[in-house]
Each structure stands twice: as C-alpha cells, then as structure tokens.
Amino acid sequence: MPPEPYYITTPIYYVNDRPHIGHCYTTVVADVAARFARLLGRDVFFLTGTDEHAEKVVTTARERGLTPRQWSDANAAEFRRAFRLMEVAESDFMRTSEDRHKTRASAYIKRLMDSGDVYLGDYVGWFDASQEEYLTETVAKEHGFNSPVTGKPLEKRTEKNYFFRLSKYEDRLRAHFDARPEFVLPEARRNEVLGRLRQGLNDVPVSRAVKEGDEDWGILMPGDPGHRVYVWIEALCNYLTAVDEPERRKYWPATVHVMAKDILWFHAVIWPAMLMALGEPLPRTVYAHAYFVAEGRKMSKSLGNFIEIDLLEAYGRRYSIDAVRWYLATQGPLGATDADFAHARFVEVYNADLANGIGNCASRVGNMIEKYFGGQIPEEGGWGEIAFDLGFHRTGSEVDSEVADWLENFEQFDLSSALACGTAIATNIDLLINRTQPFKIAKQIENDVALRVVLAQILKHCAEAIRIASLLLYPAMPAKMASLWRAWNCSPLNDPDDADSGFRAPLAELAEWGGTWSLKPGQRIAKGDPLFMRADPAEPAPTA
C-alpha cells in the first residue's frame, strides 16, 4: 500500500512584513511536523508562502517608487531566505501573485458565483486597514472604533459587494465540529470557535471595489472588472490552488493547517464553509497555536521589540540554528498558552537539553568506544550475570517505549512532548553510565577478562540507544543529527550529506532495537567534535 499522504500548511505571510520569530515559529513547527511524517514513511507535502495582494502592498510599493511586483519580489525573497536559514524544507512556496494561484482561485470564485453561494449586495462596515479586515459593529464598538491590533482608527465604509453565503453552512459546520473533535485544536480554541458559531453566522463580503491604480494587483471578480476578490478569501484558496493539479491532488484534503490563534476564524469557519460550497472535503485538523512574546512582553511595532530574523540568525551563529529550532519547537506556544523567547531561558534549555544532554551523552559514549575498543562497536558476548545486576538489559525495552510515546505524541500534534522522548533516552543513558561506571570497569579488565564483555555490552547498549534517540530528535535538529550519523557511520538518510534527502526506511524499521539498521559489531564510529559547546549563562545575549 502506498504511504498515506500528509499535507501540512502554514499561513501565507503578508509580504509587506519583515520575517520575524512569529513567522519562523509557525514555519519551523510545520517543518518539524513534516519531518516527523517523512520519518514515519508518509508521503509529505509541506506548503508555505506569501500573501501578496493586500492593499498595503500597493501603497507601500508606491511610496518606495516600486511596482507592487518589485516590492513583493524583494520581500518574498526575504521570507524564502529566512526559511532557508531556519533549515526549513518546504515542498512548495506559494506566492499568491503567481498565475497558477490566480487562475485557480478565480475559477473557484466563479464556481461559487454560478452556484449562487456568492452574490452581489451592499456592505456597510468598519474596515481595519492595518489588518485588511472588516470588523463587525459589535467588535468595532468594543474597541472604541479603533483597530484592536494597532489602535489606529477604523474606517466606516459602504461598498457594493459580493457576499459569500456563509449563513447557509452554519448547521453543517456545527455538525462537523460535533462529529470531529480533532477538527480544531487545541481544545480551548475549538470551544471559542464553537461559542461564536452558536451565536449564528452572517454572510461575509468577499470582494473590494477596484481603486484607480491598483487594477493590476490582485484577482478580479470573474465577469466584473470593478471588483477584486477580497485578499483573505483568495489567500485561503492557496491551500487548494497549490495542490490542484493531477500529480498533487492526492494530497487534498490537508492533514493540518497550522497558524496562530489570530487567524483561526478564517481557517476554522470561513475556509471550511467555502470548501463545503465547492464540494471539497475538509482538512482533518486546523491547529491554532498561541503567541511568542519577547522577554515577557508582547511584540509590537510601537515597542519595536520584534525578534526579527537577523537576531535569530545571530543566535544561530553562536548556538547553531538547530539549537534555535530546538528552542522554538520545545518551548514555543504550541497549545493554548503564550510562550516567551527569553535569553536566560534559551541558555538554560540549550545547556540542559543539548550541550549537557544529547551532545554530552553522545561524546561520552563515542569517547569510551574510541578509548576501549579502538573506535569500533564491540563484539557482543553472551549475557553475564552482571548485566542483570547492573540493570542495563532493560535499555532496549525502555527505548522501545520512548519510541512508542514519540509516535503517540506526534499523532496528538504535541511535538514538544514527542521530542522530549529523545531527550529522555539521553538522560537515561547518562544515568546508566553513572550507575554502571564503564570507566571503572575498564580499569579492572586486566584482572578480570570477563569484564571486557560487560564493558562491551554496556557501551553497545548506550550507543544503540543514542542512535535511536537521534532519530527521535531529528525532526527538530536535522543538521546536527545528520552530522552525528555521519560520524557514527549510521546515516539512515538517502544522502548522508543532505539532511533533507529522505530516509532509506520508515521509522518502524530504523528504530528497531537490534534490528537491520542497528549498530553492528566492528562498525567504526568516530568520536567527532562535540555536537553542542556549553554556553556561558553570563555571556550577554547575541545581537543582530
């Protein structure tokens, strides 16, 4: 049976912004999940990209003496660069200004017009220009007719508009929420959406009047050159336009759309209703995480405290990009609570999990194998009584249970708990070494040759456990784990020099204790450089 497809998406980011930790966070989370799925042998399609048709793009471009196309090209390139830097390996980067997106999105709108799901009407509303979004009278009033996000005054606008018959899908949506508890996650977010759904749904505007000078930017309403498709509506379509071609159709419906809670309503209600109207199956899960804040404070333009890509790059230079990915993936706001990017915490996690954790554990074991067995995985001997006395015969089953937990957590999209299964193995191996004291055994070998077997077995157990831990850690730290595999001559990658080259077998085989892919006696392992140098907590934070 062909492996089940796994299609994961990030929001497409406003091309007017500069990439910051928020964009990188969601994209790294999606990349980590995509790597979990690839490691499991799934056929993965991972989509990210940029949302380019906002009105602001036209105005900013004009202010800078550029065409919207030039301005978007430059900024989309910044997002690509940011994601390359973060070691993100997307399958496709969708720009909404591409013809493939425009043609297909336009065809979907045409279908909705033909079916009567999109119709022409009048719209009066409060427009938040900074967010490209209309607010309801209630929400506008609640915020004193200012933008809830930027605090700038809202504009009252009346427009001839096309509407999407969202109200028609209210019952079907509610039924879908009831039937599929995993449709919107985490649960706190699901309950919020359900609460709002119960208040009833109004039809939503899906077009904007074309303004002089911006005729060429965006997608025109089919058959009406006076109206453009509202940027949010066509942006949502990107998830489908990207795979709406014969070789990619197998990926639809998406397995998971990942985003932050700010844009959940569009993804959990409007997009699914559009899909119902189009007769398309719905995504399995819409996952809305919380926010990253910076050193305990919400990031905002006015505070000027955005953690931009340049700062993340500086962290990467000092601690490695994999360490940055590790922090994002394990300390980030997956779930319902916000998370802090704080330097002191970064160093603490880096030292505990990486430098003193897997890094130290791998070099300890590598060094001992080098010193006592000439850098070769030792021959196995029969079990000695002592193996049972020292308790290391249990290592295999302990590792198996971490692998099972890893899988279970990934299925719940609890990526940090899944990754913690990898660190748990390293911690256990450290404890095993402390308990069995192989360095002491090594000193006694001269007097008792049987001890050599014990030493061999302990180290072989340790090395095999680390090999499996490294598989579990790979999704967050592809480059570091690929370098460990190269040093230990045990790369499961198609190309050991390319961390994105895919796996030679699925995890079920790769992570089998003592199985086909296990470390074999005689196999050379180089002790290599330490994976992570210890960080000095007293050193000031890097600067961009």
Least gap, CB of 239 to ligand MSP (angstroms): 7
Least spacing, CB of residue 291 vs ligand MSP, in Å: 4
Q: Which two tokens stand for residue 302?
A: 């006015």
Which of 424, 422, 433, 400 lies closest to 514, judged by CA? Answer: 400
**With respect to ligand MSP, which residue has the nearer C-beta, 235 or 441?**
235
Binding positions for ligand MSP, rule: CB under 6 A: 11-14, 17, 22-23, 25-26, 51, 235-236, 238, 259-260, 262-263, 291-292, 299
Residue 125 phi/psi, 5-degree rounding, is -165, 175
Minimum distance, C-beta of residue 11 to ligand MSP, in the bound complex (Å): 4
Q: State the nearest-atom distance from the C-beta of 334 to ligand MSP, in Å.
A: 10
Residue nearest to ligand MSP (CB): 22
Closer to ligand MSP by Cβ: residue 162 or 291: 291
Contact 289, 328 (CB under 8 A): no
The neighbouring-strand residues paired with 9 are: 47, 257
Q: What is the DSSP string of 196-239?
A: HHHT----EE-EEEPPTT-TTSS-EETTEEEEEE-HHHHHHHHH
Distance CA 481, CA 472 (A): 10
Q: How far is the CB of 339 from ligand MSP (least distance, A)?
A: 8
Closer to ligand MSP at the Cβ: 238 or 360? 238
- Tokens standing for residue 45: 């399609």
**Nearest residue (CB) to ligand MSP, 12 versus 510:** 12
* Closer residue to ligand MSP in complex, CB, 299/432: 299
Distance between CA 233 and CA 274 in Å, rounded? 9
| 32's tokens | 């980590």
CB 437 to ligand MSP: min, Å: 45
C-beta closer to ligand MSP: residue 44 or 294: 294
Place of tokens 């192989």: 438
- Give least dist CB 164 to ligand MSP, A: 15
Nearest CB to ligand MSP, comparing residues 98 and 405: 98
CA dist., res. 152 & res. 517, Å (int): 59
Closest among 110, 82, 94 to 17, alpha carbons compared: 82
Interacting residues of 187 by C-beta distance below 8 A, sequence separation 6+: 181, 336
Measuring CA to CA, which residue among 25, 538, 3 is closest to residue 324? Answer: 25
What is the smallest separation between the CB atom of 13 and ligand MSP, expressed in angstroms?
A: 4
Residue with smaller CB distance to ligand MSP, 38 or 101:
101
22 vs 272, which CB is nearer to ligand MSP? 22
Give me the helix-helix angle, 68-85 and 55-63, nearest 10°. 100
Q: How far is the CB of 502 from ligand MSP (least distance, A)?
A: 26
The phi and psi torsions of 282 (rounded to 5 degrees) equal -90, 150
Task: Rank residues 243 and 459 by Cβ distance to ligand MSP and give the closer one.
Answer: 243
- R_g of the chain, CA atoms, integer Å: 27
- Specify the DSSP element, H or E, that contains 71: helix 68-85
CA dist 181 and 183 (Å) reads 6
Least separation in angstroms between residue 75's CB and ligand MSP is 11
